[in-house]
Structure 1
Amino acid sequence: MSGGGGKRRHKHEEHDEHVNHERWLVSYADMLTVLMALFIVLFALSQVDQKKFAAFKEGLEDGFAPSNVVLQGSQGVNDAENGEAPLDIQAFVTGDPLELQSREQVLEEARTEEERVEAQGNLDAATQEVADYREIEKRIDAALAVDGNQDQVTYRITSEGLVVGLVADNVFFANASADVEPTGLEVLDAVGPVLASLPHQIVVQGHTNSLPLSSTTRYRDNWDLSTSRANSVVTRFMHVHHLAPTRLTSTGYGETRPLYPDTDQRAMAGNRRVDLVVASPSSEAVRALLPEVAQSTPTDGPAELDVPATAAAESTTEHAATETTATTTETATGGH
């Protein structure tokens, strides 16, 4: 029997467990860590070559084998191989711009080895093509020299191919006319056999200067005149020198493709021309290299059109006059 003076036993009170409302932050942080690691791996894979990809794959297979708990492939993407420096993953993580740029340059060089070989092949092809054009120039000059007309043409090498320029002064065409003059026929008959012996496509391009045509001519405008002149040259090549029509193309550009701006004293005479284009058969990549290669290759022919200063000055004076006076003097001196 216990006395009333004994200690009263207090009942233990159970408190509810405190709910941690911030537990989601731990999961969220874990998810971000996994995503960051995934993006790093994907980015690294996009920058490596096939050998390093195979090494990475082997590392993954070894790392996820049942006997392994930790990813520890015998050879992973970041291991050195054949003396090469491993990928600097730390540079990708920290974003160090200098280190990152250096690694990208190294990887780019390794990744584009095949492209560099292709680029060198394109350069070699362009160099050979320019050399072939130089030989064509010599053949044309030799044919023209028979009648002393070797100074009647110019040569340019563009991305289109070899451009044989015929200055359309009174030697080739009378003013506002598409009929080839006798001396012009001599030039075409010297050039024609050389072009006929080539396998290339031949594009004949007609051009005029910017002076407007007189209303008394039979041509509607400079486009019509330039096209008619190109057609006259094509007709001569087909009927006299038997170039296949499938190899010939004629185009008129009017005054839209000048060699010289109107402010240049050579513009009035120099832009009035017919171009014979020995079309390049190469790919676009090779054609883009032709002008650069040609500039570094010496040539025995004239590099650009040489327009007499007096003739250019006369044309400039005519252009400065009123339209009526200009068209009248053009008919007398030859302006288109």
Structure 2
Amino acid sequence: MSRRKKKQHHEEHVDESWLLPYADLLTLLLALFIVLFAMSSIDAQKFQKLSKAFNDVFTGGTGVLEFPSPMPEGQMQSTDAVLDKPSKDDGFASLDKQEKEKQKQDADQEELAALQQKVNAFIENRNLAEKLETSLTTEGLLVSIRDNVLFSSGSAEVRTEDLKIANEIGELLVMDPPRNIIISGHTDNVPIRNSSFESNWELSVMRAVNFMKIILYNKKLDPKWFSAKGFGEFQPVAENGTKEGRAKNRRVEILILPRTGNQS
């Protein structure tokens, strides 16, 4: 009787060994669905890293994650574009940078305005209001000098009696830190009539160069901040049809540039 009961006990026992592969299959399916869901929001580089991580865990040949992404290429690129959008913090940083740049520009304009007052005081003290004038623009501080202040008619050499004025103008250009300065020569449209120059363009160039050489005798000025240009009659500020207009066009200009955006 005891043997019969023991045998019946073994017959009623349920074999549960199938649960292990079934659980492994469910785990793999769960991992697959998680990866498929995540593929809609990760970029290609992150996908490859995730693929390698799962394949390292589930070793045993080629895994599902090693195959190319089923997501269309264009859709993957659009997802990357969304991920690469600047954050709000980036926007605030950009605004802060723009504000700082504007503050620098405003401070630079204030410094140029103070320099203009200094030059205007020099003009007033020397009674040169009809021969020198200043203007402050976005390009910088412009000092315009009539040619008869420095040169004889048709000549590019600074007159001996005007060397003192040229040197005093050079002293006004001493700044710390220094600025880029452009010296330019201009003429009227009356053709040149002497053996020294073939054109007004050559005359304007040499006047700019010779004036620059005079002010650079000042050892406090560094030549690397200076350049010279000649425009001839091609940038008039007045009509050449009158004597007064031609007198305004015959000039040497000093352009003192802003520091922001012009220096390294």
Whether TM exceeds 0.5 here: the answer is yes
- Structural mapping, 1:230-241, within 5 Å: 230-239=208-217
Match of 2:203 in 1: 225
Match of 1:203 in 2: 182
Cα gap change, 1:38 to 1:165, in 2 (>3 Å): same
Cα gap change, 1:140 to 1:48, in 2 (>3 Å): closer
Number of residues of Structure 1 aligned to a counterpart in Structure 2 = 194
**Contact 1:140/1:190 (<8 A) preserved:** no
**Contact 2:239/2:246 (<8 A) preserved:** no
Cα gap change, 1:33 to 1:164, in 2 (>3 Å): same
SS of the counterpart of 1:112?
helix
- Structural mapping, 1:257-336, within 5 Å: 257-260=235-238, 268-283=246-261
SS of the counterpart of 1:122?
helix
Alpha-carbon distance between aligned partners in 2 of 1:173 and 1:278, rounded to the nearest angstrom: 22
Cα gap change, 1:172 to 1:47, in 2 (>3 Å): same
Larger radius of gyration, structure 1 or 2? Answer: 2
**Contact 1:196/1:241 (<8 A) preserved:** no
Alpha-carbon distance between aligned partners in 2 of 1:253 and 1:38, rounded to the nearest angstrom: 57
Mark the runs of 5 or more structure 2 residues left unpaired by the alignment.
1-68
SS of the counterpart of 1:283?
coil
Q: Offset of 1:127 from its aligned partner?
A: 1.0
Alpha-carbon distance between aligned partners in 2 of 1:176 and 1:127, rounded to the nearest angstrom: 41
- Alignment deviations for residues 117-163 of structure 1 (CA, whole Å, 9 cap, x no partner): 22222211111111111111111222233322244322233454322
Alpha-carbon distance between aligned partners in 2 of 1:144 and 1:189, rounded to the nearest angstrom: 14
- Alignment deviations for residues 253-304 of structure 1 (CA, whole Å, 9 cap, x no partner): 22333345768997533332111122333225x9xxxxxxxxxxxxxxxxxx
Of residues 91, 106, 119, the one that matches 1:140 is 119
Match of 2:103 in 1: 124
Cα gap change, 1:117 to 1:151, in 2 (>3 Å): farther
**Contact 1:207/1:271 (<8 A) preserved:** yes
**Contact 2:185/2:253 (<8 A) preserved:** yes
Cα gap change, 1:184 to 1:134, in 2 (>3 Å): farther
- Alignment deviations for residues 80-102 of structure 1 (CA, whole Å, 9 cap, x no partner): xxxxxxxxxxxxxxxxxxxxxxx
Cα gap change, 1:219 to 1:265, in 2 (>3 Å): closer
Cα gap change, 1:32 to 1:243, in 2 (>3 Å): closer
Mark the runs of 5 or more structure 1 residues left unpaired by the alignment.
1-30, 50-108, 287-336
Match of 1:6 in 2: none
Cα gap change, 1:38 to 1:265, in 2 (>3 Å): farther
Match of 1:152 in 2: 131
**Contact 1:176/1:225 (<8 A) preserved:** yes
The one-letter code matched in structure 1 to 2:234 is T
**Contact 1:234/1:250 (<8 A) preserved:** yes
Alpha-carbon distance between aligned partners in 1 of 2:218 and 2:76, rounded to the nearest angstrom: 73
Q: Offset of 1:33 from its aligned partner?
A: 7.8
Cα gap change, 1:231 to 1:40, in 2 (>3 Å): closer
Match of 1:47 in 2: 85
SS of the counterpart of 2:134?
strand
Alpha-carbon distance between aligned partners in 1 of 2:159 and 2:230, rounded to the nearest angstrom: 19
- Alignment deviations for residues 209-228 of structure 1 (CA, whole Å, 9 cap, x no partner): 333222x3411212210111
- Alignment deviations for residues 289-320 of structure 1 (CA, whole Å, 9 cap, x no partner): xxxxxxxxxxxxxxxxxxxxxxxxxxxxxxxx
Match of 1:38 in 2: 76
Match of 2:63 in 1: none
The one-letter code matched in structure 1 to 2:173 is L
Cα gap change, 1:149 to 1:115, in 2 (>3 Å): same
Match of 1:173 in 2: 151
